[in-house]
Amino acid sequence: MRSILEEFACGNIPIKVRNFTPNSMYGQAMHFTSVNEEKLLHRLSGEEKVIFQKYIDAKNEVNELAAIKNFTHGYKLGLIMAAEAFVTTDQLMAMEEYEV
């Protein structure tokens, strides 16, 4: 079973959808990716399109797994930073010795 952070990161715990501005750096990068993907698909033959689609699918899976890992790592790091507001770093490190 996944942790609650992984379930949250995978979208199994509903959150509000976030929009982005088309003129933002993210929006421009998405547009650039989409335009060039269409140009490339137009130039590829049938078998080449299949290979390219498999590449896109694999890359999307890698990106999804990395996003989950980054989300959970960042969240845990944030909690450690918050905990340090109440105890010293030495006390936090001493607690790690007792983790199971």
Q: How confident is the model at residue 97 (pLDDT cuts 50, 70, 90)?
A: low
Best CA proximity match to 70, nearest among 8, 1, 23 = 8
Mean local confidence (pLDDT), 42-61: 96
Percent of the chain, pLDDT > 90?
Answer: 50
pLDDT of residue 95: 67
Q: Answer whether residue 92 shows pLDDT above 60.
A: yes
Residues 89, 81: Cα–Cα separation, whole Å = 9
Question: Quick check: 90 pLDDT over 80?
Answer: no
The domain limits of the chain are 45-100
Task: Return the residue matching tokens 């918050």.
Answer: 82
Residue 20: the pLDDT is 84
Query: How far is Cα of residue 15 from the mean position of the Cα atoms in its chain?
Result: 15
pLDDT of residue 100: 44
- Cα 83 to chain center, whole Å? 25
Residue 40 near residue 48 (C-beta atoms within 8 A): no
